[in-house]
Each structure stands twice: as structure tokens, then as C-alpha cells.
Chains A and B, each alone.
Chain A
Amino acid sequence: AQSVSQHNHHVILSEAASLELGCNYSYGGTVNLFWYVQYPGQHLQLLLKYFSGDPLVKGIKGFEAEFIKSKFSFNLRKPSVQWSDTAEYFCAAENSGGYQKVTFGTGTKLQVIP
């Protein structure tokens, strides 16, 4: 069955620390991959996505993610977090082609301490 795993459920970092959130997917065939973020009291919104080309993808607010096909991974990184990055982060995946049917991971709550 298709699935997305996020192993870090709750991460606490101090400001200026580096961030890496893990995401692994289990899909047959070609996949499109996404990271969505939900800031407190706000809607889910897209941080970045990968569907082809350069496996290192840059998104908004200084975030980036690397697609490593051999490891079925799409980890999210940021070199220096800010208090405003406190949010819940969801990795998501879908099979390429056809109608969009996205599966979300369980989410990682990031708390950044000033």
C-alpha cells in the first residue's frame, strides 16, 4: 500500500539551529513529492514540491528538500530556523500522472524556542 512516513513527531529547536525533518515514502512507480506547512491558526500551505529535474528543491522561507530515489526519501532542511518557523510540517506524495491523489504523512510539530 502507498504510504508516507515521518519519523519525527515533535521536534524542539533553539533559534539559529539547523533543521532536518525526515520523510520516507512507499510508492511504486514515479512519484511527486510535497512538503506542506500549517502555522498556528492558519491553513495548510505548500512549502515546496518535487516532480522532476533537480532533486534539490528550494521552497519558500529558506526551506529546501532533497529527493533521494535510492532511499525513497524527501527530507526537509533549513540551515537556521527562526521562531516564526514554529508549525506543523506534513510530507505528502502522489503517483505521477492521472488525477491528483495525495497521501499525507502523520506530520511533525516543530517548536522553535527563542
Chain B
Amino acid sequence: DTEVTQTPKHLVMGMTNKKSLKCEQHMGHRAMYWYKQKAKKPPELMFVYSYEKLSINESVPSRFSPECPNSSLLNLHLHALQPEDSALYLCASSPTGRGGDEQFFGPGTRLTVL
């Protein structure tokens, strides 16, 4: 299985809602990533987990809260988001998280904040 799955595919939420994005991989990878991609822009790194520990946080606002319950799962908890947070959220995984790894991307969750 060489797939990264993400749920839901689409999410619409109000600014006072709490929601979560889910990402799963069964390739035995030990690093997982969250990216944010706005329209017509490249993916921007948000968080990196390596061996279930947060190794990189790219100064993301606290209204985004990542969680890595185990090596196969990565969640992104959302609370009190702003309309400008509307974007495609991509999850990726890689074997070790060390330089040179190929990253395997999921299809993304398209988030709309009203």
C-alpha cells in the first residue's frame, strides 16, 4: 500500500467551530507532514512529525493543533479559524524524515472557513 489517505475531502466550517483533519499511511513511514496550499501557490510546510514527535513547527498559529497518535496517523485539529485559513491542506509521509527522502502526498482536504 503506497497511499496516503486524507479525510474528509472537503470541509466547510464556521469561525467558531472545532473540527479535525485526518491523515493515514500504512507504508511504515516514520515521518509525517502537514502542508497548506493556497490557490495558485506552492505547498507551504506547517508541521513535521518524526518518530511521533513534533520536530518542526513553522510558526503556525495556535488555532492549528497537530497530533500524531501513532506512526500511521496524523491529525490536524482546527479551532477558531479565520476565512484566510481557507486552503487545501496536504498531508505527506516519508520513510525517515531525514534529508533526501521522497515524500508521498495525499489528495488533500479542501477547507473553507465561513
Chain A interface residues (CB < 8 Å from chain B):
32, 34, 43-46, 49, 51, 90, 94-107
Q: Which of B67-114 contact A (CB under 8 A)?
A: 90, 92, 94, 97-107
Nearest Cβ distance between residue A100 and chain B, in whole angstroms? 5
Is B48 at the interface (CB under 8 A from chain A)? yes
From A46, A95, A98, contact of B103 by CB (8 A): A46
B31: chain A residues within 8 A (beta carbon): 99-100
Pair A104/B106 contact, Cβ less than 8 Å: no
B42: chain A residues within 8 A (beta carbon): 90, 104-107
Q: Considering only CB atoms and an 8 Å cut-off, how many residues of chain B contact the other chain?
A: 26
Task: Using known A-B contacts A49-B100, A49-B102, A96-B100, determine if residue A101 contacts B107 with beta carbons closer than 8 Å.
Answer: no
Is B55 at the interface (CB under 8 A from chain A)? yes
Is B8 at the interface (CB under 8 A from chain A)? no
Task: Using known A-B contacts A44-B43, A104-B43, determine if residue A99 contacts B98 with beta carbons closer than 8 Å.
Answer: yes
B27: chain A residues within 8 A (beta carbon): none
Pair A44/B90 contact, Cβ less than 8 Å: yes
Is B12 at the interface (CB under 8 A from chain A)? no
B48: chain A residues within 8 A (beta carbon): 99-101
